[in-house]
Amino acid sequence: MAAMEEELKALLQDIESLKRSQSDAKSLHSVDERIVRIMNVTKFGTSRRSKVKDMSAEVADSNPYSRLMALQRMGIVENYERIQEFSVAIVGIGGVGSVAAEMLTRCGIGRLLLYDYDTVELANMNRLFFRPDQVGMTKTDAAVQTLSDINPDVALESYSLNITTVKGFEIFTESLRAKGSQKSGRSTGIDLVLSCVDNYEARMVVNQACNELGQTWMESGVSEDAVSGHIQLLVPGETACFACAPPLVVASGVDERTLKREGVCAASLPTTMGVVAGLLVQNALKYLLKFGQVSPYLGYNSLKDYFPTMEMRPNPQCSNLACFERQKEYIQTKPARDAAAKAKIEVEISAVREGPLHLDNEWNISVVDNSKMEISNGCSASDDALPEGLIHELPSAGKYPESLVVGEACPVVDDLEDLQRQLDALNAS
Amino acid sequence: MAAMEEELKALLQDIESLKRSQSDAKSLHSVDERIVRIMNVTKFGTSRRSKVKDMSAEVADSNPYSRLMALQRMGIVENYERIQEFSVAIVGIGGVGSVAAEMLTRCGIGRLLLYDYDTVELANMNRLFFRPDQVGMTKTDAAVQTLSDINPDVALESYSLNITTVKGFEIFTESLRAKGSQKSGRSTGIDLVLSCVDNYEARMVVNQACNELGQTWMESGVSEDAVSGHIQLLVPGETACFACAPPLVVASGVDERTLKREGVCAASLPTTMGVVAGLLVQNALKYLLKFGQVSPYLGYNSLKDYFPTMEMRPNPQCSNLACFERQKEYIQTKPARDAAAKAKIEVEISAVREGPLHLDNEWNISVVDNSKMEISNGCSASDDALPEGLIHELPSAGKYPESLVVGEACPVVDDLEDLQRQLDALNAS
């Protein structure tokens, strides 16, 4: 850039000398040459990598997908290239949403829809992604500018609008509904919505749209003291919706709509937001590419490095009518699935009954040795032959404790027939 | 940039028309005007924010530190401004190190020292931070280019060298030793070293340097299948050093030096690396700014969203002589601290003895109810009065389970006098 400024100053001098001797063809030629040089400098500054049609697994410095395609060779993902078929919508391009967008872009996602109404400010510079030279641009435009440079293979759509307005909501739901050209078998044109907004009202709007469309989405949030956050998977009808049990409002204990008062601002850290964005997109990749376990809810308390998980079932008394409809559909259209699940559980139970630990164990009490995990990861003899003094970094897969169920939305209904009766009663009334 | 290219093309046309009618003063004037516009575009593209001398808590869109200073108002950090006094060295500016550097830069760290010998390649584009237009630059130069634009308040030092060479190691340790001008009371010129390298050899070199200098450091790593990682705090003499129990080599089960063979490459994901960088810098901020609990070890298994923690004590038979020396010093210089800790434990033990759960409990067995946490975070009645149907997002601080100790370097020596005898015996031999 400094080189360009020098060239331009010299160009001005050329013009000055042109003014003095207007018949000098040599000056004109030198001006021509200078402009070509400037255009080369400009090109260098905006040099973008060319589009790549197919993802190659070739190990070469010039291959932007080699480290991702290696996930197949490592046996983690069955078909990584499928990522090009997916469309993801990100609502809220702030501290979490912008980083989530960058991660998906670098992963080579097919299509990315970005929604935000805000502009970039210097006050946003304590979080990743936006640069000081983007101050004043809309967040969606600034994001498209950066992301299209990073990976031109991703189809980017920018929606600079407020989804909580009537008009904004209309455009929002229409853009979700619009069919992508690549895939069928979806109720909308996209595969997943990621909510990265910073207030209760916007979350309820995303919830409303996704309940109406039957659209699976993931919610994320960071506390206003900047040191904790969470992600959550929401499948309309199958899991709790945001109106069934809104976790962030409960956690903060304040009406978030009052947060943006004059002279008051929430704290934020690039670390917490980066971790939450990473956990969110990791969960999205697991969901889309079908590997690992998709977390229904994952909290992050950074002060204690504590990560609670839980599952939340839908509230049959949910005030959101669309949620109510999806719950009904879920029950009506999935009897086969439930029967299969029940049969599977019965097989497992009978297997347990066949081999009790102690024949005289009247209460079926089993002893869980909490020190077992210490031992299996510590220095005592274990099944895996390791040299003395060496330990496993992480316990092997079989040794993981089950995800800790720390809470459920209430009331919890275990009996689906009972839930059906309740729904029928509500419909009749 | 597109605007500039258009301007330049128009400029070429102006020159063409100048060539046709060399006496047209109006054309010359239009060329002048066009050049001024181009210079404005150039300036806009390179606009950097001006330096800020003092961190202000003022809530204004133009204040890059308002959201960080809010950590004080929220009661999380006592004195956020102290961050300007700290110097942090980051070794390895790859998928984890570059993001760690960006986070610290955006947090307004005082001084950042960056070490790497590699250049940016397109194959790095599946991780955050580097841009395609930086391909071919050294990673340290590219990082300085990006980071100085983001926050000109940070003093950046770039070391493009290989720390595993004799010369590189010399410059590395010298740069760590060199006193910063801002602070005293440190054995080196920096407050913390973050190791973000991708191989065993480099980790052992950082370990050697930090053991020699008595320098506290944090280690980080991501598995070659891209789906797990860890961070670890290493305080020479006080915790296990990397040679006491090298976790990554054990976890992978292969010699990492063989990883960079022709045609073979490790997988990587921006998500896993972003999470590890976030956890690493969060731990660094907690350590530097004294808030929350600094984690001695934190693992991240993304397939199960499982985050094991553990503590590792130094190995008194550690093969690293400098570690051995630091262990000796730690014991010799800390008798007062150990006595205080012992007294504290005795008080706690006597408190437990005074009130046994069951007087007839011969074996001192106590019942730990694993369902307790489910209840306290679920929907049953709890101490905190919440409206029906609402749950806490995270358990309140008092309800956290203790960090799970899943392993210790062996052999573990609990008796410090015994350790001293062992050290004396080894010194005498």
Q: What is the pLDDT of residues B152-167, one digit of tens each?
A: 999 999 999 999 999 9
Nearest CA in chain A to B295: A305
For residue B65, pLDDT over 70 is answered with yes
Residue B107 to residue A270, Cβ atoms within 8 A: yes
Give the number of other CB atoms < 10 A from CB of residue B362.
Answer: 6
Nearest CA in chain B to A230: B393
Strand partners, A194: A90, A218
State mean pLDDT over B128-137.
Answer: 94
Please identify every residue of A annotated as catalytic: 265
Of B46-60, B228-242, B259-273, minimum mean pLDDT range: B259-273
Cross-chain CB nearest to B15 (options A28, A224, A411): A28
B265, B323, B379, B410: the catalytic one is B265
A369 to chain B: which residues are within 8 Å by CB? none
The reply to whether A350 touches chain B by the CB within 8 Å rule is no
Quote the percentage of chain B above a pLDDT of 70: 70
The pLDDT of residue A247: 52
Q: Quote the CA–CA distance of B293 and B388 in Å, as a whole number.
A: 33
Residue A246 to residue B390, Cβ atoms within 8 A: yes
Q: Quote the CA–CA distance of B157 and B390 in Å, as a whole number.
A: 51
Nearest CA in chain B to A37: B8
Q: Which of B58, B287, B394 to mutate to test the interface with A (most CBs of A within 10 A)?
A: B394
The pLDDT of residue A425: 60
State mean pLDDT over B270-293.
Answer: 98
Of B28-37, B105-114, B301-310, minimum mean pLDDT range: B28-37
Cross-chain CB nearest to A282 (options B63, B272, B315): B272
Distance from CA of A358 to the nearest CA of B (A): 20
Nearest CA in chain B to A14: B32
The pLDDT of residue A410: 33
B75 to chain A: which residues are within 8 Å by CB? 225
A65 to chain B: which residues are within 8 Å by CB? 126
State mean pLDDT over B53-72.
Answer: 90
The tokens of B292 are what?
A: 């929350």
The pLDDT of residue B415: 46
The pLDDT of residue A378: 30
For residue B282, pLDDT over 90 is answered with yes
| CA-based max dimension of chain A | 113
Residue B133 to residue A125, Cβ atoms within 8 A: no
Residue A21, class by beta-carbon neighbours within 10 Å (0-12 exposed, 13-18 middle, 19+ buried)? exposed
Angle, alpha carbons A294-A139-B124 (nearest 5°): 60
Angle, alpha carbons B172-B177-B183 (nearest 5°): 135
Residue A269 to residue B128, Cβ atoms within 8 A: no
The pLDDT of residue B9: 74
Of A182-191, B32-41, B254-263, B364-373, minimum mean pLDDT range: B364-373
Q: How far is CA A395 from the centre of its chain?
A: 27
The reply to whether B84 touches chain A by the CB within 8 Å rule is no
Q: Name the B residues in 235-254 with CB < 8 Å from any A CB.
A: 245-251
For residue B408, pLDDT over 60 is answered with no
The reply to whether A371 touches chain B by the CB within 8 Å rule is no
Nearest CA in chain B to A291: B303
Tell me which of B77 and B34 has the higher pLDDT.
Answer: B77
Residue A70 to residue B267, Cβ atoms within 8 A: yes
Residue B8 to residue A35, Cβ atoms within 8 A: yes
Quote the percentage of chain B above a pLDDT of 90: 54
The pLDDT of residue B291: 97
For residue B204, pLDDT over 90 is answered with yes
Residue B122 to residue A49, Cβ atoms within 8 A: yes
Residue B247 to residue A393, Cβ atoms within 8 A: yes
The reply to whether B396 touches chain A by the CB within 8 Å rule is no
pLDDT along chain A (429 residues), means of 10: 65 74 66 70 60 86 92 94 97 98 97 97 94 95 96 96 97 88 67 95 96 96 95 96 69 46 75 98 98 97 96 92 95 83 84 57 47 31 37 37 34 46 54
Q: Quote the CA–CA distance of B129 and B150 in Å, as a whole number.
A: 12
For residue B217, pLDDT over 80 is answered with yes
Q: Quote the CA–CA distance of A88 and A105 in Å, as a whole number.
A: 10
For residue B416, pLDDT over 60 is answered with no
Q: Quote the CA–CA distance of A204 and A196 in Å, as a whole number.
A: 12
Q: Name the B residues in 152-211 with CB < 8 Å from any A CB.
A: none
Inter-chain contacts counted by CB atoms under 8 A, chains A and B = 421
A149 to chain B: which residues are within 8 Å by CB? 131-133
The pLDDT of residue B23: 59
Q: Name the amino acid, one letter, at B347.
A: V
Residue B267 to residue A389, Cβ atoms within 8 A: no
Residues B176-186 have pLDDT tens digits of 998 654 455 56
Cross-chain CB nearest to A391 (options B44, B275, B407): B407
* The residue to which tokens 């990976």 are assigned: A151
For residues B303 and A291, the answer to whether their CB atoms sit within 8 Å is yes
The pLDDT of residue B342: 85
Strand partners, B232: B219, B297
For residues A320 and A241, the answer to whether their CB atoms sit within 8 Å is yes
The reply to whether B32 touches chain A by the CB within 8 Å rule is yes
pTM above 0.90, yes or no: no
For residue B5, pLDDT over 60 is answered with yes
For residue B410, pLDDT over 50 is answered with no
The tokens of A348 are what?
A: 């497992």
Three-state SS for B84-128 is HHCEEEEECCCCCHHHHHHHHHHHCCCEEEEEECCECCHHHCCCC
Residues 6+ away with beta carbon under 8 Å from A26: none
Q: Quote the CA–CA distance of A274 and B285 in Å, as a whole number.
A: 14
